[in-house]
Amino acid sequence: MSNQALDLLIECELLKVNGKIIDLGKVSSEELSRRYTHFVIARQGSIYTEVEKHPSDSMLNAQFSTWSSKYSQQNTLSSLLTYNKIVLNDPLVSSRPNISIADLQAGLEFYSWLHPLIRAGFVTIYPIDYYERPTDEIPLLYSDDSFRSSISPAIHDFAHSNAVLKSVTMDSEGRMLLMREDASVKRRTALNVGFKNDQLYSGVGLFKFTTLEDAKEINGRLTARQYWDKDGALPKEKFNQWAYQATNQAVMARLKAISNQVALAQNLGHTYITESEFESTLLSLSNAKGAQKIEPCVKFLNLNDRFINIESPNTIIELRNRHPEAFERFNNSITAVSEELHGINEEDFAKKSRLLFEKEIMPQVDDIRSTIGQISSGIVKGTLTSFCGLSLAICTGSVIPLASSLAISAAQGLSESLPAWRELQLKKKRPSYIWHRLMKSRSN
């Protein structure tokens, strides 16, 4: 698992035995490239074996989305007060052919800081971006209806009602700049497709209006050159048609990425975590024909009361080792409450969720606050930070697995198959995904 990744980084002489980073400036570029390449090839070759051997348990564990959640040290520590174990993406491994020195340094710092949490078994690192080789690029596809039929009606209507299209322009150095201007104003040949109440940290958003020129047939194969007029402007009707198609393609790419990652999460027996309210609703709409309606995304658990600042991974390790029963009770309570709320109609959901929150969750939140205060020296400094805000989107009502529902929602426009997952993991009584809100406030 991730201990193997740490051992591999040490073997490749990128990390020291204690988890500290080597001095990259003292190693030649050629040697660094050799060490990094060895690490990446080994990780890419072992990911499926590692996933298959991933240990399972009945606790609430989390896998964070690589598109709609963002790694930070404080968020990781806060998350480990809620989830038993978490899975994060490996920043050093993807489908990209190379990496910059700055990104290599950042990736090694990521591993170095997580070193004690990985060794303790609380954090697992998988190259999620490489799993099933998802891509940030939209394939060259053709559709008579601008991919309208490739998306379920509910998802289509929701996405287009929340689409935010902004102009994009290229500067003199070739950089693509996102403008505040609504894309429909000047109808430029590059636009960014975004959505309201969405966080998108990686993935598909930029679209260029390109044309194929100089088409030739060579040995039975059609070749052509793609042309983009960076200073061009489109007629209104052509722009509207292109913008509509780009929005559909952005949704298709999002569904494909989510379905890959949800399938991985279900295979691991984990809950998929998104920080995006838009994506959470998208998930709730991804049910196949004949399946029961998935419960609407509901903001249920919001733990924004202030806690003593969690200073380091060692604070979490000490807390979890000294008070395992209290943590396990809290972790199981979240799963139990979500299970009890399953199947309740929308009218009664808000009332019952509030009652369960006050009865089952808040007393344990107070206990955890007190326990952290006993361990952390932050109480002496008077530094406070918020606990993690967590919103449960209850998603256990579909007759077929969530990953299958997602696949059906996007399958007409995408050819790649989803990975298999173990049926046993799908029967665990836990939320299929959680809308996770991490908010931080400090005072002295």
User: Predicted confidence band at 350 (pLDDT cuts at 50, 70, 90)?
Assistant: low
At 360 the pLDDT is 77
Structure tokens at 144: 């008579």
Please tell me the distance from the alpha carbon of residue 259 to that of residue 418, in angstroms, as a whole number. Answer: 8
Question: Can you give the pLDDT at residue 309?
Answer: 57
Q: How confident is the model at residue 412 (pLDDT cuts 50, 70, 90)?
A: very low
Q: Which residue has the higher pLDDT, 138 or 108?
A: 108
CB 165 within 8 A of CB 191: yes
Q: Indicate if the pLDDT at residue 319 is higher than 60.
A: yes
pLDDT band at 343 (very low <50, low <70, confident <90, very high): low
Higher pLDDT, 432 or 8: 8
- Of the candidates 253, 272, 287, which is a domain's last residue? 253
**Among 130-134, 259-263, 351-355, 392-396, whose mean pLDDT is lowest?**
392-396
In a domain, 72, yes or no: no
End of a domain among 190, 222, 253? 253
pLDDT, tens digit (0-9, with 9 covering 90-100), for 423-433:
333 344 566 66
Residue 214 phi, psi dihedral angles, 5° rounding: 55, 45
More confident of the two residues 181 and 211: 181
CB 444 within 8 A of CB 401: no
Residue 272: band (very low, low, confident or very high) from pLDDT cuts 50, 70, 90: confident
Banded model confidence at residue 247, pLDDT cuts 50, 70, 90: very high
Q: Band of the pLDDT at 308, cuts 50, 70, 90?
A: very low
Average pLDDT along the chain: 76
| Residue 273 and residue 288 share a domain | yes
Q: Is residue 242 situated within a structural domain?
A: yes
Number of domains in the chain: 3
Degrees, nearest 5: CA angle 416-36-112 = 100
- 280 domain-assigned: yes
Lowest mean pLDDT among 159-173, 211-225, 274-288, 404-418: 404-418
The residue that leads in pLDDT, 382 or 168, is 168
Question: Do residue 189 and residue 210 come from a single domain?
Answer: yes
Task: Please indicate, yes or no, whether residues 228 and 265 belong to a single structural domain of this protein.
Answer: no
Report d(CA 268, CA 262) in Å as an integer: 10
Instruction: Average the pLDDT over each of 27-31, 149-153, 288-292 and give the range with the smallest value.
Output: 288-292
**Does a structural domain hold residue 74?**
no
pLDDT band at 342 (very low <50, low <70, confident <90, very high): low
- Give residue 294's pLDDT: 36
117 lies in the same domain as 249 = no
Ranges of H-type helices in 130-235: 153-161, 183-186
Residue 93, number of CB atoms within 10 A of its CB: 25
**Domain limit, last residue, from 222, 253, 284:** 253
Q: Of all helices (H) and strands (E), which one includes residue 242? A: helix 236-268
Same structural domain for residues 281 and 407?
yes
- Judgement on whether residues 217 and 117 belong to the same structural domain of the protein: no
Q: Is the pLDDT of residue 123 over 50?
A: yes
8 Å CB contact between 66 and 261? yes
Question: Does residue 246 share a domain with residue 274?
Answer: no
Report the SS3 class of residue 279: helix
More reliable by pLDDT, 78 or 250: 250
Banded model confidence at residue 293, pLDDT cuts 50, 70, 90: very low
Q: Which DSSP symbol is given to 141?
A: -
Mean pLDDT, residues 254-275: 85
For the stretch 59-69, pLDDT in tens is 888 899 988 88
Query: Do 286 and 432 share a domain, yes or no?
Result: yes
Amino acid at 185: V
Range scoring the smallest mean pLDDT among 195-199, 281-285, 327-331, 390-394: 390-394
Which of 78-92, 154-168, 378-392, 417-431 is predicted with the least confidence, judged by mean pLDDT? Answer: 417-431
Tell whether 217 and 263 lie within a shared domain. Answer: no
Q: How confident is the model over 353-386, as pLDDT tens digits?
A: 777 777 777 777 667 666 766 665 443 333 444 4
User: Looking at the domain assignment, is residue 201 inside a domain?
Assistant: yes
Q: Average the pLDDT over 101-125 and give the result.
A: 95
Residues 259 and 184 grouped into a single domain: no
pLDDT on residue 435 = 67
Print the domain residue range for 190.
Answer: 148-253
> Taking phi first (over 0 means left), then psi (-120 to 50 degrees means alpha), and beta for anything else, what does residue 177 get?
beta
75 part of a folded domain: no
Mean pLDDT of 384-402: 45
For residues 120 and 156, state if they share a domain: no
pLDDT exceeds cutoff 90 at 105: yes
Same domain, 422 and 286: yes
Domain presence at residue 64: no
pLDDT-wise least confident of 75-89, 159-173, 244-258, 285-299: 285-299
Is residue 411's pLDDT more than 70?
Answer: no
Q: Is residue 247 part of a domain?
A: yes
Identify each DSSP E strand in 229-370 by its residue range: 271-274, 306-308
Give the confidence band of 141 by pLDDT, cuts at 50, 70, 90. low
